[in-house]
């Protein structure tokens, strides 16, 4: 059994050390800037990464919940993928992204890397019916012999899907929950878990530890890290993850 650790980099991005692999979630490494597009909502990044892409060291795997939004994979994130790092994502991402290293998974489909089995989890990036606007999204479940089970939610806002996942995998040892209650003008609803729903999701999953991501560094995140901490205040399961600091999650 190896030590599991996480380093929060910014937004949805973290470096997860698990079963001998170094894994990056939704890679965003650009500096602060405005992303404008005629076809998409303008997104504003307010802070750069705690660790630059060039300073990451070796990366064995990228877990990319989806590729259509810059707050999940930005220009520097695309550069990381283009270096040939194995990347698991949606079927659409595998079709659209260059480099040949992106492997598309359907819901509940698994992929093995080293000692780790990664299974794609269903996700919904907003309320029911928002799929045509936001595109497909997946989460991930990581399993390895004698290692904790880890759930990475990706940009999921659906508690019914969390309960469906829990029905198959609970209890989960560690849950990486993308929170922040992201909102845009085009959709009058949360696009990711709000703070209260994140706490509810943790209970449904039976999570021993929770790492909160996706609460900082972007102007369209409507719930802050402080609000997430308040929602988890009585639970004792939310892990403190200072920016750029490697945090031991146990073995």
Query: Which residue has tokens 């790092």?
Result: 85
Q: Is the pTM of this model over 0.85?
A: yes
From first to last of its 251 residues, the chain has per-residue pLDDT tens of 678 999 999 999 999 999 999 999 999 999 999 998 756 678 899 999 999 999 999 999 999 998 877 888 999 999 999 999 999 999 989 988 766 789 999 999 999 999 999 999 999 977 787 777 777 999 999 999 999 999 999 999 999 999 999 999 999 999 999 998 888 777 777 888 999 999 999 999 999 999 999 998 888 888 999 999 999 999 999 999 999 999 999 86
Strand order across the beta sheet in which 4-10 lies: 102-104, 87-89, 61-63, 21-25, 13-18, 4-10, 246-250
Predicted local confidence at residue 131, as pLDDT: 73
Domains in the chain, ordered, with CATH? 4-235 (3.60.15.10)
Predicted local confidence at residue 43, as pLDDT: 87
Predicted local confidence at residue 98, as pLDDT: 63
The CA–CA distances, whole Å, from 248 to 62, 98, 135, 141, 237 equal 20, 34, 34, 19, 14
Predicted local confidence at residue 39, as pLDDT: 62
What are residue 238's DSSP bridge partners? 210
């Amino acid at each position: 059994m190896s030590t599991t650790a996480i380093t929060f980099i910014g937004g949805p991005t973290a470096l997860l050390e698990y079963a001998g692999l170094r894994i990056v979630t939704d890679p965003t490494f650009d500096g602060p800037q405005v992303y404008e597009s005629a076809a998409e909502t303008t997104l504003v990044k307010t802070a750069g990464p705690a660790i630059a892409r060039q300073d990451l060291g070796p990366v064995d795997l990228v877990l990319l919940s989806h590729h259509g939004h810059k707050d999940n994979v930005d220009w520097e994130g695309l550069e990381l993928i283009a270096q040939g790092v194995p990347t698991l994502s949606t079927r659409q991402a595998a079709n659209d992204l260059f480099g040949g290293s992106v492997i598309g998974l359907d819901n509940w489909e698994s992929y093995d890397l080293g000692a780790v089995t990664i299974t794609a989890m269903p996700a919904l990036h907003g309320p029911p019916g928002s799929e045509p606007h936001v595109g497909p999204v997946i989460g991930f479940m990581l399993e390895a012999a004698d290692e904790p089970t880890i759930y990475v939610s990706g940009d999921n806002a659906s508690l019914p899907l969390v309960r469906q996942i829990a029905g198959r995998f609970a209890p989960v040892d560690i849950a990486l929950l993308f929170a922040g209650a992201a909102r845009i003008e085009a959709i009058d609803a949360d696009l990711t878990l709000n703070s209260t729903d994140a706490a509810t999701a943790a209970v449904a999953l039976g999570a021993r530890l929770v790492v909160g991501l996706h609460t900082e560094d972007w102007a369209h995140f409507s719930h802050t890290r402080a609000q997430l901490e308040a929602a988890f205040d009585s639970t004792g399961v939310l892990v403190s993850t200072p920016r750029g600091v490697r945090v031991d999650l146990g073995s």
